[in-house]
Amino acid sequence: MLIQEGDKRTPATDLMLASILAFVAGGVNSAGYLGYRYFSANMTGNVSMASDFLAVSRSDLALGFLTIVVMFILGAFIASCLIEVGKRQLRRNIYALTLIVEAALLMLVGLFITLSARSPNGVLVVGLLSLTMGLQNAASTRISGSRVRTTHVSGVATDIGVGIAMLLGSNSSSDKLAIVLRLRLHLVTIVFFALGGVFGVLGYQHLGGLSFCALAMPLLLLSIRYLR
């Protein structure tokens, strides 16, 4: 699942990867919002909020939202750099290593929240969570040839609408099969993002910061077998 890239991947491996990573992303996004009122995976919303606050001369709040966006971009940049270095060194498990970095960061954030004597700064915490989401989205996008996108659902929802229209207008059975497989992938992504969101809220209510440690576990379980 974390070795084959692009067209070498099967629909089943993309489906499994999307379900796991979308669940984690939905959980991180919801738990972060419940705790600090910032989204770590919704860059569209964060840019919109920054624009809103700039329009009413609240540059301090706008800067917070823009910082989270920059951290997401930084995460994607770091993941891409790791992947490029890994490819040069012929490391077939570089995607697994990238997800382990994400899991480690999530666990550090969770422990930081739990062990802090006072409530941590929301922009700092969600900025770090956004960094992990950038890492994840870049890794899943690159390994799947842009088929698997897991940290936001706006583009996925658009693809569902486009796919349904294409399915209704297609007369080729092979084209229809390809469209159905893509639609299944997109639907699974949205469903597991939503399920992750439910887990994130319940987890944060009962575990607090340790919920982020719990959300790191699927990443570790997915990736650790590739370290042999």
Stretch 20-25: mean pLDDT: 96
pLDDT digits (tens, 9 = 90+) for 45-96: 999 999 999 999 999 999 999 999 999 999 999 999 999 999 999 999 999 9
What separation in angstroms does the CA of 121 have from each of 35, 77, 142, 221? Answer: 11, 24, 32, 30
Please name the residues in contact with 199: beta carbons below 8 A apart, sequence gap of 6 or more: 23, 26, 27, 30, 215
pLDDT by residue (tens digit) across 123-160? 999 999 999 999 999 999 999 998 898 887 888 999 99
Q: Where are the beta strands (DSSP E) in the chain?
A: none
Tell me the pTM.
0.94
For 9, phi and psi rounded to 5 degrees?
Answer: -85, 150
User: CA distances (Å), 67 to each of 1, 8, 70, 162, in order?
Assistant: 33, 37, 5, 33
% residues pLDDT > 90 (the chain): 82
Q: How far apart are the first and last CA of the chain?
A: 15
